[in-house]
């Protein structure tokens, strides 16, 4: 009997071990190295300077005026894209929910941007949509007799938010469409018979039904949006100034443009701390919906 | 008597028109990209944009000549396929164990797994770069496969877990009572029931790996560069060459978009993380 009990505990552990062990290595080794680098003097351009640095690197990174800007930009980017994509995703999912001619084709058109890779997304918007002379937006404002906007210079962070929203809205929409399909038809019908308006249905039937899907969408988006990189790298390079620099891009600049491994590692530790703060707030806020 | 299955009242017509309009606006940038890929460079930057012109295939041949497209495409295909398969091999047993033999720790382990995804990739860039350099794996497919597998693993475990949890325990227990081995139980009972969930997990990871840009840009270049790297090489500011950029972009996203169109119904099933019952 006892051998059976040990066996029944041994096998599940054996089965989960490949994932747990590899992830543990994938997390601990880089984390350990980053902490170590952040505490030493390590600049690839001046290899003769070395030794223990204490809090120097952290101090250097945090007193960099770009630091607070980048934290601020990271959070603005995250918040705006999540609100825009969930809002539009919900509205569009509700719009195309009931059958109409060409519904499946419309659905395919709507979800396509989700499959576009970040570098293509960035270049497509930078050149063909937002170019102040030849771009589509410039042509539209020209048509209405307005002065064209130089998007990436005048509102760099806004432009990046537009690109990211275009990419993530279809993801939100796709999940909401699926969630809507499992709505209880009879319940909807009954509420209509009882004279419920569309907005009452929205408030008391649709939204509660969608709560868990919304939580899932926010969770996934936050994971990917905290470390946006390619869109900034291929369009604004964080500029002008630090207007579109997020924390991920600032660390990249420190490491690969200034070759300061020590400061970049200290920055990475800050990024990890910020991510954990966001994660804790997020789990507090929507954790109830993710619990079964 | 009614021929149409739709009720053509004003509200319905408005909804239909609005739906088509929204879809057109969302798809428009991609449509523009597709059309531009078949223009000459001069036609590409014409104001107002041309919609009627004689299409040319010149840009595609030029992209192929300038940068070996097939090499980048093969790198994308191999790294995303192998990392997806590898990820499934590692994730399925652990999701199975979490779903069917849960302990007090299960929840904590799974939250920890997801929390590794909250660590920004850039935080691990330097160590990972140095480790691969030390191992001589920079600019290699193996490096990308390792990175893609590890960064998708937490999401795979979560998706598979929520899928497995919908499978009734009793079925598995019954097969165990009948003396089925673990492999037989997996092969003949679990696999048929969980096929849909596994497929959608695999599909999502394929898409995520194909489109991954951060690691690909920083760890690879000419040798193991993926299509995301190929496209980034067209971002240099010298002159406007929209037509070639569009052709390269179209060649990079074409395969995965078509793949996405065909598999979207399957893909979305597992994406909901059990949010839809």
Q: Helices B242-271 and A103-111, interaxial angle, to 10°?
A: 110
- Residue in B27, B115, B126 closest to A112 by CB: B27
Backbone angles phi, psi at A43, to 5 degrees: -120, 125
Instruction: Determine contact: A71 vs chain B, CB below 8 A.
Output: no
Mean pLDDT of the A96-120 span: 91
What confidence score (pLDDT) does residue A134 get? Answer: 84
d(C-alpha B182, C-alpha B193), whole Å: 15
- State how far residue B121 is from chain A, nearest Cα, in angstroms: 7
Contact A232, A281 (CB under 8 A): no
d(C-alpha A158, C-alpha B191), whole Å: 46
What confidence score (pLDDT) does residue B6 get? Answer: 77
Backbone CA torsion sign across A16, A20, A21, A26? positive
- Judge: A15–B94 Cβ closer than 8 Å, yes or no: yes
The single residue listed with the structure tokens 């990189």 is A229
Which of chain A's residues have a Cβ under 8 Å away from the Cβ of B125?
A: 251-252, 255, 268
d(C-alpha A15, C-alpha A13), whole Å: 5
- What is the CB neighbour count within 10 angstroms for residue B263? 17
- Residue in A37, A105, A272 closest to B120 by CB: A272
Q: Per DSSP, which regions of A128-276 are E strands?
A: none
Provide the 8-state DSSP code for B190. I
Residues 6+ apart with CB under 8 A from B229: A119, B72, B213, B216, B217, B220, B221
- State how far residue B231 is from chain A, nearest Cα, in angstroms: 6
- Residue B273's pLDDT band, with cuts at 50, 70 and 90, is low
- Judge: B276–A213 Cβ closer than 8 Å, yes or no: yes
Contact A16, B100 (CB under 8 A): no
Mutation pick from A98, A124, A260 vs chain B, by most beta carbons of B within 10 Å, is: A124
d(C-alpha A166, C-alpha A85), whole Å: 8
Which of chain B's residues have a Cβ under 8 Å away from the Cβ of A8?
A: 101
How far lies B77's CA from each of A61, A146, A276, B65, B256, in Å? 39, 45, 33, 20, 10
- Residue B275's pLDDT band, with cuts at 50, 70 and 90, is low
Kindly identify which residue of chain B lies nearest to residue A266, measuring between CA atoms. Answer: B123
- Residue B270's pLDDT band, with cuts at 50, 70 and 90, is low
Instruction: Determine contact: A137 vs chain B, CB below 8 A.
Output: no
A7 pLDDT more than 60: no
Rounded mean pLDDT of chain B? 86
Which of chain B's residues have a Cβ under 8 Å away from the Cβ of A20?
A: 94, 109, 113
Q: In this prediction, what percent of chain B has a pLDDT beyond 70?
A: 94
Mean pLDDT of the B225-239 span: 79
- Residue in A119, A133, A275 closest to B231 by CB: A119
- Quick one: tokens of A88? 């539009």
- Residue in A19, A27, A37 closest to B91 by CB: A19
Give the residue with greater pLDDT, A5 vs A231.
A231
Mean pLDDT of the A157-173 span: 94
Instruction: Determine contact: A18 vs chain B, CB below 8 A.
Output: yes
In degrees, rounded to 5, the angle at the alpha carbon of residue A118 between the alpha carbons of residues A176 and B253 is: 85
Kindly identify which residue of chain A lies nearest to residue B271, measuring between CA atoms. Answer: A175
- Judge: A272–B117 Cβ closer than 8 Å, yes or no: no
- Quick one: tokens of B114? 């997801």
Mutation pick from A127, A198, A266 vs chain B, by most beta carbons of B within 10 Å, is: A127
B26 pLDDT more than 50: yes
Residue A87: closest CA among A165, A23, A191, A183:
A165
Bridge partners (DSSP) of residue A260 are A43
A288 pLDDT more than 80: no
- Judge: B276–A178 Cβ closer than 8 Å, yes or no: yes
Which of chain A's residues have a Cβ under 8 Å away from the Cβ of B245?
A: 123, 127
What CATH superfamily is the domain A57-290?
A: MetI-like (1.10.3720.10)
User: Model confidence over A234-262: pLDDT tens digits?
Assistant: 888 887 888 888 888 988 888 877 788 88
Provide the 8-state DSSP code for B236. -
Binding-face residues of A in 158-217 toward B, CB within 8 A: 166, 169-170, 174-175, 177-179, 181-182, 212-213, 215-216
Bridge partners (DSSP) of residue A52 are A40
* Maximum Cα–Cα distance across chain A: 85
- Residue B241's SS3 state is coil
- State how far residue A252 is from chain B, nearest Cα, in angstroms: 7
User: Model confidence over A194-222: pLDDT tens digits?
Assistant: 888 888 888 888 888 888 889 889 988 99
Residue A131: closest CA among A141, A116, A145:
A141
Give the residue with greater pLDDT, A272 vs B123.
A272
Residue A164: closest CA among A94, A97, A234, A251:
A234
User: Model confidence over B127-168: pLDDT tens digits?
Assistant: 999 899 999 999 999 999 999 999 999 999 988 988 888 888
- Residue B277's pLDDT band, with cuts at 50, 70 and 90, is very low
Provide the 8-state DSSP code for B52. S
How far lies B48's CA from each of A143, B30, B33, B52, in Å? 10, 18, 15, 12
Contact A159, A151 (CB under 8 A): yes
- Judge: A123–B113 Cβ closer than 8 Å, yes or no: no
What confidence score (pLDDT) does residue B215 get? Answer: 92
Mutation pick from B7, B10, B23 vs chain A, by most beta carbons of A within 10 Å, is: B23
Backbone CA torsion sign across B254, B255, B258, B259? negative
In degrees, rounded to 5, the angle at the alpha carbon of residue A59 between the alpha carbons of residues A55 and A61 is: 120
Question: What size, in residues, is chain B?
Answer: 277
- Residue in B28, B100, B211 closest to A117 by CB: B211
A287 pLDDT more than 90: no
Mean pLDDT of the B66-95 span: 93
- Judge: B32–A269 Cβ closer than 8 Å, yes or no: no
A85 pLDDT more than 50: yes
Q: In this prediction, what percent of chain B has a pLDDT beyond 90?
A: 37
B1 pLDDT more than 50: no
B51 pLDDT more than 90: no
What confidence score (pLDDT) does residue B267 get? Answer: 80
Rounded mean pLDDT of chain A? 86
Instruction: Determine contact: A130 vs chain B, CB below 8 A.
Output: no
d(C-alpha B33, C-alpha B10), whole Å: 35
What confidence score (pLDDT) does residue A182 get? Answer: 79
**Domains defined along chain B, listed by start:** 10-60 (no CATH), 67-271 (1.10.3720.10)
What confidence score (pLDDT) does residue A292 get? Answer: 47
């Amino acid at each position: 009997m006892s051998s059976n009990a040990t066996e029944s505990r041994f096998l599940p552990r054996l089965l989960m071990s490949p994932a747990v062990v590899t992830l543990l290595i994938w997390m601990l080794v880089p984390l350990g190295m980053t902490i170590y680098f952040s505490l030493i003097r390590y600049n690839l351009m001046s290899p003769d300077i070395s030794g223990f640095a204490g809090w120097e690197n952290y101090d250097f990174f945090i007193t960099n005026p770009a630091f607070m800007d980048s934290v601020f930009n990271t959070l603005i980017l995250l918040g705006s894209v999540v609100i825009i994509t969930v809002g539009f995703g919900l509205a569009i999912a509700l719009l195309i929910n009931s059958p109409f001619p060409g519904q499946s084709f419309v659905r395919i058109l709507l979800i396509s941007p989700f499959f576009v890779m970040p570098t293509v997304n960035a270049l497509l918007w930078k050149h063909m949509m937002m170019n102040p002379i030849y771009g589509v937006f410039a042509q539209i404002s020209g048509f209405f007799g307005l002065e064209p906007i130089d998007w990436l210079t005048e509102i760099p962070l806004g432009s990046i938010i537009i690109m990211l929203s275009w990419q993530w809205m279809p993801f939100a929409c796709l999940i909401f469409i699926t969630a809507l399909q499992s709505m209880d038809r009879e319940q909807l019908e009954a509420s209509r018979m009882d004279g419920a308006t569309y907005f009452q249905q929205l408030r008391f039937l649709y939204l509660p039904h969608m709560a868990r899907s919304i939580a899932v969408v926010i969770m996934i988006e936050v994971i990917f949006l905290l470390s946006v990189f390619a869109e900034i790298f291929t369009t604004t390079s964080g500029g002008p100034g630090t207007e579109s620099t997020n924390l991920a891009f600032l660390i990249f600049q420190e490491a690969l443009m200034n070759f300061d491994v020590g400061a970049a590692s200290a920055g990475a530790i800050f990024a990890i701390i910020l991510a954990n703060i966001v994660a804790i707030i997020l789990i507090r806020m929507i954790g109830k919906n993710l619990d079964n | 008597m009614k021929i149409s299955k739709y009720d053509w009242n004003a509200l319905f017509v408005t909804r239909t028109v609005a739906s088509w309009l929204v879809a057109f606006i969302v798809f428009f940038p991609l449509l523009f990209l597709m059309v531009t890929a078949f223009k000459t460079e001069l036609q590409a930057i014409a104001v107002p944009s041309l919609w009627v012109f004689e299409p040319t295939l010149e840009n595609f041949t030029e992209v192929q000549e300038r940068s070996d497209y097939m090499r980048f495409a093969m790198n994308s295909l191999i790294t995303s396929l192998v990392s997806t398969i590898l990820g499934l091999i590692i994730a399925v047993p652990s999701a199975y164990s979490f779903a069917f033999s849960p302990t007090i720790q299960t929840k904590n382990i799974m939250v920890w797994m997801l929390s590794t995804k909250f660590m920004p990739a850039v935080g691990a860039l330097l160590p990972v770069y140095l480790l691969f350099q030390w191992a001589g794996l920079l600019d290699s497919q193996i490096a990308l496969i390792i990175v893609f597998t590890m960064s998708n693993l937490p999401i795979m475990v979560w998706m598979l877990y929520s899928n497995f949890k919908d499978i009734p325990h009793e079925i598995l227990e019954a097969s165990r009572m009948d003396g089925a081995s673990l492999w037989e139980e997996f092969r003949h009972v679990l696999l048929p029931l969980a096929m849909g969930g596994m497929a959608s997990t695999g599909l999502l990871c394929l898409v995520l790996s194909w489109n991954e840009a951060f690691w690909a840009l920083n760890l690879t270049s000419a040798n193991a560069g993926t299509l995301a790297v190929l496209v980034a090489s067209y971002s240099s500011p010298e002159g406007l060459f929209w037509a070639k950029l569009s052709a390269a972009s179209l060649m990079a996203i074409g395969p995965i978009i078509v793949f996405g169109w065909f598999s979207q119904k399957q893909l979305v099933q597992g994406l909901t993380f059990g949010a839809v019952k």
